[in-house]
Each structure stands twice: as C-alpha cells, then as structure tokens.
A and B are shown apart, each in its own frame.
Chain A
Amino acid sequence: MRDEMSIMTEKLKRLSELEERILSCIGVGDCRNALKGPYSKPIIEISCPNREHGSGFEVHFARGRFSLARALLDGRIEPSEGLAEEVYRCTLCGSCRYVCNNCENPDFIVNARENIEDHVEIWEEMRADLVDAGVAPLPKHKEIFSHQEKEHNPYFEKHSDRLNWLPKDSLFLKPGGEYLFFVGCTSAYRLNDISRTFLDIAEQANLKISISPEEWCCGSVNFRTGVEKLGKETAQHNAETFKATGIKKIIATCAGCYRTLKIDYPKWIEDWDFEVLHSIEVIDESIQNGKIKITNKIPGIITYHDPCHLGRHAELYDAPRRVIEAIKRDEFIEMRRNRANAYCCGAGGGVKSGFPEFALEVAIERIKEAEETGAEWLTSTCPFCLGNLKDAANASGSKIKVVDLLELVKKAI
C-alpha cells in the first residue's frame, strides 16, 4: 500500500502538495445545500450547479470531490478518463468555497474554509494532475487547444480576424494610450458590440485607450482546465506584448480575462507589474468624478448577475451596482442569490464547451431567477456569462433582455 501511495503521490504531485488543505474538509456538506442568513430571512443556497443539474452523486459537489482527492492520494482509485469527466463537470464558480462551514461573523472565527483556503485552486490543481496523468482534458477541450496553439483563440477563428470589428485605421490601434484594452476572445469574435460600446463610452470619458493586435487569448480556458503549459505560454506572450506597449494599466470587459490577468498572471509571470482593471471599475470612477454624464436614465426594472470571476473570485461587487444606481430610472432589484451568494451562469470551467446542455440548463435556472424579480433587463459584466444567458433566454422563450451593463451605460449617456 505504501509503495502504491508513493507512486500515486508522484503522479499527483500538485494534489500531494495540497494534502493538508484537502484533509481540512471534514465532510459536513454545506456545499450540498447551505442555508445562509438568520431565522428572520433564511436563504437556502442551492449553491452547486453541478450537483443540482447532474445526477447529484456526492462526487458532483465539493465534499465528494475532496473524498475523491483523498482516495486518489491514498491509491484507492486510479486516475481515469471517466473520473476526469466527473471532475470537469464543475464550473469552478467557487460557491462551495463561499458556503463552506463559515460563521459569517468576524467576532467568531470558526471556519473550515480558512484551512481549505481556496476550493477552486484545489479543483484546478486536480485537473492539472489529471492532465499530467494523461486522462484529461476532455476530447472537446483537446480540439480547442489544438486550434488555440495555432490561432490563439478557443473559437476556431483565425488570429488575423481578431480585430475585424475595428476599422483598420482606428486610433485605438495606435500606441501611447494610458490604458491598454485587453479585448478578449468572446468580445473579439462573438459579442464584439461590447468592445465597440466600451470604446464609445471610454471616448466620452476621455480615457486614452490603446489596443494591441498582438493580444492572444488570455489563457483562462487553459488555466481552468488544467492545461498549464499552454496557459503559461499564452501568459508569457501576452505579458511581453503588454511590456512592449509601455502601458501599465490594462482594462478588460470580460470577467474571465480580468480574473486571469489579475489573479493568475502574477503567479506565472515573474516581473508582472501591471494594474488590471475591469471596464466597469473605470466606468464607475468616470461616473463618480463626472467624466461621464448620465442624461437618459434607463426605464424598466434592472437586475444584475454577478459573474463568478468578478464576484466570488475577485470580490468586485460594488462598482457594477453603483453604476446601475446611477443609470436606473426605475428600480434595481437584486436576484434572490446575489453577490457572494450569486448562482453561476453555468458556462465557466470549460463546461460550456465540454457539457453544453448542462451549461444551458444552469443558465435557464438563472434566467428564471432573474424573471422572478420582474426585471426587464438582466445585465452583467462578462461576455461569456452573457453568451450563455442569452442562449438560455432564447431556449426558454424568456422575454427578459440580456445585456452587458456597458450597453445600458451607453444608452444612458
């Protein structure tokens, strides 16, 4: 058994290094369905999309996945493609981390999650070990990465088409801006209205923006699916591109790009020295300091979906809400699950490409939750979330208008 264990430990080197944190899960199972809030206002958190929209076995939520990690480390089970498939059904939304045995009061420090630290990091490392073991990523991901190696995007598009939405003589392609706009793949190839809208608003706010045609995919899709090597190469290329511009501030409209540049890149790039901002932070500041004037307040109830990468992963909750407060004419009504309690849209962690039906099912649940508010507008700050939510609104016949918050801002100025 000992020999088997040491062989396994060698194979699963990342998980081995995280063993203490993995053992910190005692299995209470809040991650299955935690209750938050007081008697007077209880909220039951159906927090794990995978658990609720899959077959619901223990392995589909955090407690079971910790057991799985322990069994792998003990050598009780071997890595396999079937096992990988279960591990990759997670959207990495991080809700398990948030609901994990957590007392919620700073005066009483009794939290398991402090020992586990960051669930998502453990799931990502588990994936990276499975990649090294040769049983992951999923076939669909492999296809995507094979394209990405050549064309630097996961959408099976050509790199040379990345900025087709921008006039060839655009001033934004000139160097010397104060901010570098990192467009991101979704906003470049699929929802490029978001990019155009951001640039229009930025112009009105008198922000000096440059765009680099050398930009590649941020690598989020690689880091999330455990394909570290490609992720690191991508990060390295982008970091060199950023350095070459001489610009120190980078803006992303995509929550996934933002999370990757802000949280992942500093881990992989030695001399990383950039300030990473989400577009909504910049717009918020411009509204606050009067550079953007609101002239046409938006009629109709607005609700807001917190992207996991912006909310739980980066704790950026207030800026989008301040912006909505500034542009609304009627009400801003929060969804039942919001901020750190927000339900995932279902697209992240490689799920949209790996398990598109599951991703859609989760998003339909979120659309229904948005509809419960009576909102006319469901807004968010991540093109990847928006894409999935739009698909869900179409599939479910919802009349709710799914828009990027930037689009509402543009209407309001």
Chain B
Amino acid sequence: MALYDELVNIVGNKYCTDKDYICVSYSRGIDPCLPEITPQIVLRPESTVQVAEIIKIANKYKTPILPRGGGCGLMGGSKPISEETILLDLTRMDKILDINEDTHTVTVQCGISWSRLNAVLLDKGYYTGNMGPGSGLTASIGGGLSHHSGGGGGCAKYGKCTEHCVGLEVVLGTGEIITLGSQESKFIENPFIRFAFGPDLMGIFLGDNGIMGVKTQATLNIFRRPPYYSGKTFYIEDDSYEKSQQIVLDMMKLGWSKELGIYDFFFYPPPSVMGITTDGLIESWGDIKGGVIFYVHEAFDEQVLERTSDVLEGIAKKHSTRELGPSPEEGNITDWFYAEQGHWQIYHNLFSMMGPDYFVATTEFIYPIAKYPEMLYKLDKWEEDHHEELFDADAESGVGQVYMLNHNCCYFGTGINATSDEDLKEDVIKLWKEQFEFILKEGGVLYMCGQIGSHVIIDSRVYSDEYYNFFKGVKEVTDPNHIISPGKFRF
C-alpha cells in the first residue's frame, strides 16, 4: 500500500488530501518573503492516536512531518521546508476536554485557538492570564506552547504562555505517546502541576519550535479574571527610551503586577509613533514626535483599583510629557486594547495596516528590562550602519514596540519593513539574517525561531558546541529518524 493510501486509512478521505489546489494553501505562514513550498500531503487528524499512527507511517516511508497549528508563524515555522513534507493541520483537534474549577486548570486538545478557549473561559469568569501569542485570534495552543509566545495580552502579569502549562501530552517522533508533568505518574488522573517526579522534562517540549514531538493535549492554569480594570496612555517627548524604562522601574519598586495589578505595559518608541501619526492611524495623537507608553491594570476591588490607578498615574506623569486621553477619542489606546478588540490583535494588525506594498521580516526577541534603552540605541545604530543596504533593498529597520514580560524581561517587536518587490527579496532576507545575528550577539533571546531564526542561531554559532551536541542528543532520543520538522536548527 502506498504512503497516501495508508494515511487515508488513518484519517479517512475527507481529511487527507494531496490535491495541489488544497495543499498550496499551506505553503506559507505569515512570513511574507521566505520561499513558499507546498507540502505533498495535508492531513487533519482528530485524535492523539491518529497523530501517533501518522507518525509511524511517516517513519516507515522516511517522510518528514510538519505539525501546524494556527499557521501564524512569522519565521517560516509553520510551512514546509521541503516538498515531500506531510503537513499535519492540527486545528481539527480543538476540543476543550475539561475545565476543572477545583484545580484551576483547563485541559484542551492543542489545535484549539487561544481566542476560542478564552471565549469559553471568560464566560465562566476565568482566563488563561497570558492570552496567547500576538497572533491572538487564531493562533493555537500548540503553537503558543512551541514558542514561549506572548503579546496577545497579559504578559506583564502572567509572563510567557508556556509558564502556565502544567500538563502536556506529546507524540514523539517514534509514534509513542507520553504525558508530562504530574501525569508522568500513572496514578494521577487530573494534571495540576508541571514540576514533578524529578527533572522537568516537559521543558524539552515547551518552546521547542515544534521539533521534539507533536503536542496533542495540554493542561493550562486558569485564573479568575478581575472584574475591574483601568488603563492610561502617556506621551513622552524627549528621552523616551530612558523615561519609559524609569516608569517601569518605579512601578516595579511599588509591586508591579502583584501590588499594582499591572496586566500589560507597552512602549512605542518614537519611530513607531511617527509611523502611526504620519499615516493618521490614531488621529488624536496629532503629530507628536516622541515615544508613547500605555498600561492596563486590574483589580478585584474597585477601591483598590482607584488607589492603584492614582499611584500608577503619579509615576507616569512624573516622567512623561502629557497624558493622551483619558478617552479613546482623545488617544487613550487602553480601552480599545483591553475592553474592545485590541488585545486580540495588537501585534499582527500592525503588519496588515501596511497593505500589499510592504512586508515585515520580524526579528522579535526577549531582553532584560534593565537594559532595554541600551538595546534600542544599539538597534538605532544598526540601522544607521546598514543605511545603504537598507536603502538598496528599499527597506527600513525599527522597533515597533517593547512590551513588558513579567518583572524583569521584555519582548522587542523589532524587524525590517520592506517594499514587496520580488527582485529585492533576497537582499531583504540577507538583512533579516544579519539583524538576527546582531541581536543574538548582543544578548537577545529568540523564542520564536522557525526556519530562519533557528538557522541563524546555528550558523552564527550562538550555542556552545557542548550545548548543541546535547541538544542534538535530546532530539535523537525524541525523534531518532528526524521525522518531525526536519531542517529547523539544522537538524
């Protein structure tokens, strides 16, 4: 029996296809300039057992498998690297299996989107805290857990989305199924803690960029959503890199999310603000030239919210030029962000507003809050040093936003904006790689690596030889025939 027929036997005709006009729609993620490659077969399994059987067949035929969740990867992670790939569209595995209000956990199949899960949780007064990747609406739980993602809301309070994973079911590259966390024990039915029974082997699969196994089921902590919130937006005319950092540090001194309920904190550097004002995207910001910060904080008690609002406002006013707001019409972005639609799309909408003429080659990374102004200056310098190459590639470099992650790190939403010109794509990809390398060598941490980022990590020899050998060794154990996502990290 041929490969295709064996796969049809597992998922049925309806959910298995090799038709070019269906497979071609899986040839890209959101990344706009990496080569589009069409998988040979696309499958939509509905269960862990089906995934395991598919992987066994892929081993038999030595054919690579690419797991794909919401298809929102920005660095080539959710599209095939080679044409013989069998692509697993995991979005059919979208069931909520258990909302456990005793253990404050939810167990889901990993193909469900963060937004769909949170819609159900919010109806019950809960949320996942970190609301998922900046892709927000459609990104899957599996994708978020594969990339330490954030940006969909709640990072300042809840950190990366992987931080609240307490149970995980994975199909290894051999087709074996394992469960991790407290369910490493056969005697525990409901997962409730990640760190259990010795070493934290779940960590091997979190942030793995989909190379160590296929995540099929996950248990996440859930949190009661505080009923009260408030948020402010402030403009900082001069020295906004330092002043925005000072605002964050002063807020941290007084307790950050634990005491002040900070849920999200974003800083838009001056070039990003200029982009917004030049295009008139937020009319009420007028032609301000500096940086902008906005924060959202929550509380279970209205009086507590009022008190913390005063404290936060006092700090922000001390270091800023003026408030933009308080209403959305007056430029306060926070109501839109938290109470309307923005929290679902704060990041990717910035790409889409560029329209067909531009694309973004993102180099987003994690960096210590203590040093983010320095890094902003270094990236400005990088842009200056690469002025000619950027000009020739009809591109520009910049930081869209810096948003706080927990109490000591921040995400940099940085990258290269380029004109959509087929003839210049190679030049842009070269600059993209160069900026990655620069960031890595300046101590930036890539969390979403995909194809391009993982290659730069290896090609720039970011890992020590000892670590890379160890990493390879672990991959050999979980996926000895390199069936899953081959090519990433040069495996």
Contact = CB atoms under 8 A, between A and B. Distances in A.
A59 B22 contact: yes
A151 to B, nearest CB: 34
Contacts of A111: 349, 352-353
B67 to A, nearest CB: 15
28 contacts: A23-B420, A24-B352, A28-B137, A28-B345, A32-B138, A33-B113, A33-B137, A35-B116, A36-B341, A39-B343, A40-B339, A44-B115, A57-B25, A57-B89, A58-B25, A67-B28, A68-B21, A68-B25, A71-B25, A71-B36, A77-B24, A103-B349, A105-B340, A108-B328, A109-B282, A111-B353, A112-B349, A112-B352
Contacts of A76: 24, 27, 36, 38
Interface string B17-57: 10111101111111010001010001010000000000000
A290 interface: no
A115 B32 CA distance: 17
B440 to A, nearest CB: 26
A55 interface: yes
A77 B115 contact: no
A34 B14 CA distance: 24
Contact of A77 (B15, B20, B282, B342): B20
A21 B356 contact: yes
A353 interface: no
A200 interface: no
B282 A71 contact: no
Contacts of B123: 42
A29 B72 contact: yes
Contacts of B36: 71, 76
A27 interface: yes
Interface residues of B, number: 68
Interface in B339-367: 339-345, 348-353, 355-356, 359
A12 to B, nearest CB: 14
A115 B353 CA distance: 8
B38 A103 contact: no
Contact of A56 (B44, B329, B359): B44
B411 interface: no
B32 A26 contact: yes
A112 B336 contact: no
Question: Among B21, B338, B356, which residue has the most Cβ atoms of chain A within 10 A?
Answer: B21
B366 to A, nearest CB: 22
A26 B279 CA distance: 19
B370 interface: no
B281 interface: yes
A125 interface: no
B111 to A, nearest CB: 10
A27 B282 contact: no
A7 interface: no
Interface in A47-73: 55-59, 63-65, 67-68, 71
Contacts, number: 190
A43 interface: yes
Contacts of A107: 282-284, 328-329, 331, 336
A110 B19 contact: no
- Rank and list the top 9 A-B pairs by shortest CB-CB distance, nearest first: A112-B352, A64-B25, A35-B115, A23-B356, A29-B138, A58-B25, A44-B119, A83-B21, A115-B355
B350 A110 contact: yes
Contacts of A397: none
Nearest to A109: B281
B135 interface: yes
Given A35-B118, A35-B344, A56-B91, A105 B336 contact: yes
Nearest to B331: A107
Contact of A58 (B89, B92, B135, B282): B89
Contact of A102 (B28, B341, B348): B341
Contact of B27 (A39, A67, A80, A104): A67
Contacts of B224: none
A77 B19 CA distance: 10
A35 B137 contact: yes
Nearest to A36: B341
A20 interface: yes
Contacts of B120: 44
Contacts of B122: 39-40, 42
Contacts of A86: 21-22
A167 interface: no
B231 interface: no
A101 interface: yes
Contact of A82 (B19, B92, B355): B19
B21 A26 contact: no
A19 B83 CA distance: 26
B71 interface: yes
A33 B114 CA distance: 10
Contacts of A40: 122, 339
Contacts of A57: 17, 22, 25, 42, 44, 89
B290 interface: no
Contacts of B135: 28-29
B352 A101 contact: yes
B127 interface: yes
B472 interface: no
Contacts of B91: 32, 56
Nearest to B20: A77
A216 B17 CA distance: 42
Contact of B30 (A27, A34, A109): A27
B426 to A, nearest CB: 15
B429 to A, nearest CB: 17
A29 B137 contact: yes
A80 B21 contact: yes
A30 interface: yes
B225 interface: yes
Contacts of B22: 57-59, 86
Given A57-B42, A57-B89, A71 B24 contact: yes
B157 to A, nearest CB: 14
Contacts of B248: none
B343 to A, nearest CB: 7
Contact of A103 (B42, B341, B351): B341
Interface in A91-141: 101-105, 107-112, 115
Given A107-B283, A107-B284, A107-B328, A28 B30 contact: yes
Given A109-B279, A112-B353, 5 more contacts: A23-B420, A24-B355, A26-B32, A33-B113, A58-B25
A76 to B, nearest CB: 6
A34 to B, nearest CB: 5
Contacts of A102: 341
A101 B25 contact: no
A319 to B, nearest CB: 27
B336 A103 contact: yes
B71 A27 contact: yes
